[in-house]
Amino acid sequence: MGGVNWARSWAFAVAVGCVLAVSAASTAFAKPKAGTWTSLAPVPAPTEGMSTANQGNLIVAAYGFSEGDTNTTRIYNIAADSWSFGSPAPPPASSEGIAVSHGNSIYALGGRGGAGNDNNRYTPSSDTWTVLTPMLTPRDGLGAAVIGNSIYAIGGRPETFGPCSGFIVFPTVERFDIATNTWSTVAPLPTARSDIGAIEHGGKIYVFGGCTGSGSGTVTNEVDIYDRTTDTWTEGAPMPTARAAFYGIGIKGDGIYVMGGIDASGAQSPANEVYNIAQNSWSTATPMPDPRAEMGVASHGGRIYTVGGGHPGFGASAGTWSGRGTRPPCRAPSEPHVDGGAGLASGPSFPSIGRSTLFCSVKLPSADLRDHRACPGVTRVGSVAGVGFDDDLVEDVARDPRAVRGDFA
């Protein structure tokens, strides 16, 4: 397994939908060919960190960050290539949770903004949400998968401000019994980590990548496989490219497609790598034309759909404002300024604080965070609350309205 220190901040949230169509007809693994990507109807508004799962011909993408956290229920009709809205999801507004499908419903788990232990069920046929027994461990940046009538909530971090931002990451794995509406704990991950990808196949759960949170925070290429019959984990062949913040991965036959995410440098990755379950080996498919992380992913009819997502960067992405000049004064997040206005900023020349990207407080010219352009060197600003902070962007967020579809053999 491998890990590399990195730092991140989001520069984009995107309204992208794409589909990867795998034309191999049998369930046996076939090495993917080059393939193509095709545009689809974009998400109604640029959104990242949605809880996404499909129910037949419908892809449900709930919650998510779009000019702030939301509790919007977005529904994509695959056959019609169109979007509509369902009833709002139960509050609070949130993002960076996860969703899975079971029966005729999807289950949205976790998230930030007070939603850490949420467990909410949405049934598209009746357009209704039901609040279920909360998770035992509040978290966001988790993975989830379904085996039989049980949902497994895997890893994650406390309700922090973005992918791989936790000073603490969890090895915790909890099992939700759908029939009895109860939770229990099972064997933990071999390595605690957040912002993983997870999926079920053949009665086992496969967990990919993520951030370990050790040292300065690391992106890993670790692959772990859970066997529920023995309640044990084994190690799979590591990913060729260490990545995190998938928030969904796809599957076709014996091939698991791990697409996009954040790589070890903190940049969005175009990698599209395919794990051969039977052979415990990797191959590559056509890279994503619009690399991104925190996107929703759903598999249906031999195709893999990706929707929305975010573009991380350090002030270098198009459409963002990047100040020039000397470095502004920085303090630890626990020591924010309160006079003359306060802001949360990140910039390419800032020193590191703690185990994550620097998010330091700087004195701004006024209490209006939109005046951040006057602060030299600032490339991103959010708000400071008490001794904590969040990453609600206030302006200068570049948007990408494209939707893309990929066809792979």
pLDDT digits (tens, 9 = 90+) for 157-166: 998 778 888 7
Instruction: Evaluate whether residue 243 is within a structural domain.
Output: yes
Instruction: Evaluate whether residue 345 is within a structural domain.
Output: no
Q: What is the band of 38 on the pLDDT scale with cuts at 50, 70, 90?
A: confident
Please report the sign of the dihedral spanned by the C-alpha atoms of residue 372, residue 378, residue 381, residue 383.
negative
Instruction: Evaluate whether residue 327 is within a structural domain.
Output: no
Q: What is the band of 228 on the pLDDT scale with cuts at 50, 70, 90?
A: very high
Structure tokens at 135: 């998770």
Report whether pLDDT(320) > 50: no
**Into how many domains does the chain fold?**
1
Q: What is the band of 39 on the pLDDT scale with cuts at 50, 70, 90?
A: confident
Instruction: Evaluate whether residue 36 is within a structural domain.
Output: yes
Is the entire prediction scored with pTM above 0.85?
Answer: no
Other Cβ atoms within 10 Å of 47 Cβ, number: 28
Instruction: Evaluate whether residue 389 is within a structural domain.
Output: no
Q: What is the band of 67 on the pLDDT scale with cuts at 50, 70, 90?
A: confident
Report whether pLDDT(11) > 80: no
pLDDT digits (tens, 9 = 90+) for 127-185: 999 999 999 999 999 999 999 999 999 999 998 778 888 778 999 999 999 999 999 99
pLDDT of the residue at 31? 59
Q: What is the band of 104 on the pLDDT scale with cuts at 50, 70, 90?
A: very high
The rounded distance, in Å, linking the Cα atoms of 317 and 130 is 40
- CATH number, residue 284: 2.120.10.80
pLDDT digits (tens, 9 = 90+) for 191-211: 999 999 999 999 999 999 999
CA distances from 271 to 89, 261, 291, 299 (A): 32, 8, 8, 18
Our CA angle for 330, 333, 335, nearest 5°, is 80
- The arithmetic mean of pLDDT across residues 73-100, rounded, is 96
Residue 159 in contact with residue 166, Cβ under 8 Å? no
Instruction: Evaluate whether residue 166 is within a structural domain.
Output: yes
b or e along 98-114 (b: 16 or more beta carbons within 10 Å of the residue's beta carbon)?
bbbbbeebbbbbbbbbe
How far from the centroid of its chain's Cα atoms is residue 331's Cα? 28
Instruction: Evaluate whether residue 362 is within a structural domain.
Output: no
Domain that includes residue 46, residue range: 3-314+399-408
Instruction: Evaluate whether residue 216 is within a structural domain.
Output: yes
Report whether pLDDT(294) > 60: yes
Radius of gyration of the chain (CA): 20
